[in-house]
Amino acid sequence: MSTELWYTERYEEHGAALSLRVREVLHREQSAYQTIEIFETEHFGTLMTLDGLVMVTDRDNFLYHEMMTHPALLAHPAPVRVLVIGGGDCGTLREVLRHPQVARVDQVELDERVTRVAERFFPELCERNSDPRARLHFQDGIAWVQEISPESYDAIIVDSTDPVGPAAGLFSREFYSACWRALGPQGILVAQSESPLLHAPLICQCQDRMATAGFETVDTLYFPQFSYPSGWWSATLGRKGISRDSFRPAAAHALEGLRYYHAGIQQAAMVPPAFLLRG
Ligand code: SAM
């Protein structure tokens, strides 16, 4: 009889699954919002799941966190005020704080327990949480954006869970309109938009909703992400008052310690596959 322990996330509607061999279950709790579990895997380091879905592994989170952050901040001429919605593992926050121009980051995560558990099990992702520019808030990001004064931010990063439960509203046109209002005359919105292979209609919906919310140009970024469904992921980026080719290559070259993003990726990541070419 096998005594091996495997974590498996099933993608029932696609008849597929991801499995990681696990050494040990390190933590399990039910927060007010979701079940938070931490595993020590054999080859992917520490793994965090929420309600049984992979959020972060030590080994591949750099792909997602770098791509959620750097293309957006480097497309903005002067990203000083940044809002991160969700992002409780703090990996995106760490990437944002690599940018010397950023003077303040509000991170608005619904579930404080995700951040507290990440502080314990993913200390490297949380290493910049005490940076004086970072402010952690624990509440619903939709309400935050609706209530904030107009033109409060230069960039908004939506690092959310899948579009179900409390995250569903983070994919709505009303939410993107509220983000447009919360951005200054020059602003960038970037939102995780799921798998190109499995969720192409959702990506098109994000693009259309951002455009109708007022963003003049919208592009999707494509990048690999082993531990998310299909191993291929996306983020959709809307620009307000910023030209499509706006990019600060010198600032990109000055970023240190990155493992996926570099200046050459800025345009390359925005080239869609043929089945997502539109217009
Ligand atoms: N990148 C990951 C993925 O795609 O699987 C998501 C990582 S991050 C841990 C997602 C976070 O979004 C979760 O911690 C969740 O609590 C938070 N979240 C979901 N809905 C939210 C909302 N309405 N406002 C703020 N945070 C929210």
Is there a single domain that holds both residue 160 and residue 241?
yes
Quote the ligand 1 centre to 269 CA distance (angstroms): 23
Q: Do the beta carbons of residue 56 and residue 48 sit within 8 Å?
A: yes
Band of the pLDDT at 125, cuts 50, 70, 90? very high
Does 253 have pLDDT greater than 80? Answer: yes
Point out the catalytic residue in the list 60, 111, 154, 159: 159
Is there a single domain that holds both residue 14 and residue 107?
no
What is the count of structural domains for the chain? Answer: 2
Per DSSP, the chain holds a count of helices (H) and strands (E) of 8, 12
Does 55 have pLDDT greater than 80? Answer: yes
Distance of CA 261 to the CA centre of its chain: 14
Q: Could you tell me the CATH number of the domain that includes residue 127?
A: 3.40.50.150
For the question of residue 89 being annotated catalytic, the response is no
Residue nearest to atom 21 of ligand 1 (CA): 167
Give the bridge partners for 28, in sequence order. Answer: 37
Is there a single domain that holds both residue 179 and residue 263?
yes
Band of the pLDDT at 3, cuts 50, 70, 90? confident
Mean pLDDT over each residue of the chain, to the nearest integer: 97
Answer whether 57 contacts ligand 1 (Cβ < 6 A).
no
Q: Could you tell me the CATH number of the domain that includes residue 27?
A: 2.30.140.10
**What pLDDT, on the 0 to 100 scale, is given for residue 2?**
64
> What's the CA gap between 193 and 219, in Å, rounded?
11
Helix, strand or coil, per DSSP, at residue 144: helix
Share of the chain above pLDDT 90, in %: 98
Domain end, chosen from 57, 86, 101, is at 57
Q: Torsion-angle region of residue 32: left (phi > 0), alpha (psi -120 to 50) or beta?
A: alpha
Answer whether 195 contacts ligand 1 (Cβ < 6 A).
no
For residue range 157-210, list pLDDT tens digits in order.
Answer: 999 999 999 999 999 999 999 999 999 999 999 999 999 999 999 999 999 999
Is there a single domain that holds both residue 138 and residue 122?
yes
Q: What is the spatial order of strands in the sheet that 134-138 belongs to?
A: 134-138, 104-109, 81-86, 153-159, 183-192, 232-240, 217-224
Residue nearest to atom 8 of ligand 1 (CA): 87
Answer whether 60 contacts ligand 1 (Cβ < 6 A).
no
> What's the CA gap between 240 and 235, in Å, rounded?
17
Helix, strand or coil, per DSSP, at residue 24: strand
Q: pTM for the whole thing?
A: 0.98
Residue nearest to atom 5 of ligand 1 (CA): 55
Answer whether 142 contacts ligand 1 (Cβ < 6 A).
yes
**What pLDDT, on the 0 to 100 scale, is given for residue 278?**
86
Phi, psi (deg, nearest 5) at residue 38: -125, 130
Is there a single domain that holds both residue 164 and residue 50?
no
For residue range 227-251, list pLDDT tens digits in order.
Answer: 999 999 999 999 999 999 999 999 9
Does 86 have pLDDT greater than 80? Answer: yes
Is there a single domain that holds both residue 84 and residue 28?
no
Is there a single domain that holds both residue 70 and residue 48?
no
Is there a single domain that holds both residue 245 and residue 192?
yes
Nearest atom of ligand 1 to the alpha carbon of 88: 14
Rounded to an integer, the average pLDDT of 145-154 is: 98
Answer whether 194 contacts ligand 1 (Cβ < 6 A).
no
Residue 14's domain comprises: 5-57
Residue type (1 letter), 73: L
